[in-house]
């Protein structure tokens, strides 16, 4: 059992590698959807660094994702894709560090409101299309500047590989952080920030590190996302996206190693498939709305699995152990 627990992530990674070679899943549309699911799995995992691992409820995480999306889309035609993604990463990291330094001066709900205010400013700037850079409500399509191996339906598989690489990078980085002394301080801040302060460690500095790292991972995810979908649109800067990330994390299991990834992938997949299901079968009333069905499933999941889907196996094992002990 211990070997299975230790090595199943390797099996999951090999499964992701094998998907494009399966005749049932190698269609361009399917690969694009799966790539999108993997991007949001990584994005949810990065958000969990704040919410689940450090105890910071941010309502402005979409801002750094949007920075990655728009900086990449704007610069790709000028400097090429590698430099555009690098600038997107640097911009997201810098803005996260600057805004985090301000927002983290307050705590609790005040912190959440400050992050929401920053995100709303970003959303307004994107919608108003300053200097014609963002395209406003019409969005900003990727028209040129991409390498040939990312252009065309036949190269959708390469976008999938890019999404796999992003998710793998996020999981590895977060795992290393969680196992490090800094990660243990994050957990201490989540459980009792005052105790961490009493021990002589500055919670503010560690919170800022977590905030900046989460923003950097979100910006990188935005750079990958804009390639997968082929352009930028205003919804990536909306506060609704941050709330969606929060739902993904809670659904999968906050503070767990793979729970947010599972929640992000599952939520994104169901969101797209349920939309198609409502159109195909002409479902009546609220059944045709994916958010209604997803909301219902979310409520049921939280009620029956309060620790998230990642704790399902442990809960089942504990239940079996309790029943075996009570049996005559």
Domain-embedded: residue 55? yes
pLDDT tens digits, 271-281: 888 777 666 66
Return d(Cα 233, Cα 186) in angstroms, integer: 34
Count Cβ atoms below 10 Å from residue 181 Cβ, excluding itself: 8
Domain count, the chain: 1
Question: What's the rounded mean pLDDT across residues 253-269?
Answer: 92
> Are 163 and 224 a contacting pair, CB within 8 Å?
yes
Average pLDDT, the chain: 88
Instruction: Tell how strand 140-141 and strand 231-232 pair up.
Output: antiparallel
Domain-embedded: residue 251? yes
1 pLDDT band, cuts 50/70/90, is: very low
54 has a pLDDT exceeding 90:
yes
315 pLDDT band, cuts 50/70/90, is: low
Domain-embedded: residue 276? yes
Query: What CATH number did the domain enclosing 311 receive?
Result: 1.10.3470
> Are 145 and 77 a contacting pair, CB within 8 Å?
yes
Tokens representing 304? Answer: 């029956």
Domain-embedded: residue 23? yes
What integer pLDDT is reported at residue 188 of this predicted model? 94
Return d(Cα 265, Cα 255) in angstroms, integer: 17
Return d(Cα 157, Cα 16) in angstroms, integer: 12
> Are 38 and 24 a contacting pair, CB within 8 Å?
no
Domain-embedded: residue 328? no
Domain-embedded: residue 62? yes
Task: Give the pTM.
Answer: 0.91
What integer pLDDT is reported at residue 152 of this predicted model? 86
Q: Please tell me the least confidently modeled range out of 227-236, 239-248, 268-277, 310-319.
A: 310-319
Question: What's the rounded mean pLDDT across residues 173-179?
Answer: 94
Domain-embedded: residue 11? yes
> Are 252 and 260 a contacting pair, CB within 8 Å?
yes
- Give the residue numbers spanning the domain of 317: 2-322
Question: What's the rounded mean pLDDT across residues 12-34?
Answer: 88
> Are 20 and 26 a contacting pair, CB within 8 Å?
yes
> Are 170 and 45 a contacting pair, CB within 8 Å?
yes
pLDDT tens digits, 195-206: 999 988 999 999
């Amino acid at each position: 059992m211990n070997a299975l627990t230790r090595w199943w992530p390797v099996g999951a990674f090999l499964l992701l590698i094998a998907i494009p070679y399966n005749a049932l899943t190698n269609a361009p549309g399917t690969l694009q959807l799966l790539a999108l699911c993997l991007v949001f799995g990584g994005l949810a995992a990065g958000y969990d660094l704040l919410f689940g691992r450090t105890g910071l409820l941010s309502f402005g995480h979409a801002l750094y994702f949007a920075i990655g999306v728009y900086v990449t889309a704007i610069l790709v035609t000028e400097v090429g894709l590698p430099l555009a993604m690098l600038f997107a990463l640097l911009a997201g990291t810098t803005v996260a560090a600057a805004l985090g330094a301000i927002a983290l001066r307050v705590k609790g709900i005040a912190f959440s409101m400050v992050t929401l205010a920053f995100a709303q400013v970003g959303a307004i700037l994107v919608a108003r299309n300053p200097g014609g850079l963002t395209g406003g409500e019409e969005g900003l399509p990727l028209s040129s500047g991409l390498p040939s191996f990312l252009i065309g339906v036949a190269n959708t598989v390469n976008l999938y590989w890019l999404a796999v690489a992003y998710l793998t990078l996020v999981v590895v980085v977060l795992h290393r952080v969680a196992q490090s002394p800094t990660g243990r301080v994050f957990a201490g801040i989540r459980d009792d920030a005052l105790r961490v302060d009493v021990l002589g460690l500055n919670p503010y500095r560690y919170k800022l590190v977590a905030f900046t790292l989460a923003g950097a991972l979100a910006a990188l995810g935005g750079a990958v996302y804009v390639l997968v979908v082929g352009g930028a649109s205003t919804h990536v800067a909306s506060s609704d996206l941050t709330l969606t990330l929060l739902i993904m994390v809670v659904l999968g299991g906050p503070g767990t190693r793979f729970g947010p990834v599972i929640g992000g992938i599952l939520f994104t997949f169901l969101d797209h498939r349920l939309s198609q299901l409502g159109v195909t079968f002409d479902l009546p009333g609220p059944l045709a709305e994916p958010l209604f069905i997803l909301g219902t499933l979310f409520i049921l999941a939280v009620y029956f699995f309060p620790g998230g889907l990642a704790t399902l196996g442990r809960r089942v094992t504990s239940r079996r152990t309790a029943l075996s002990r009570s049996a005559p």
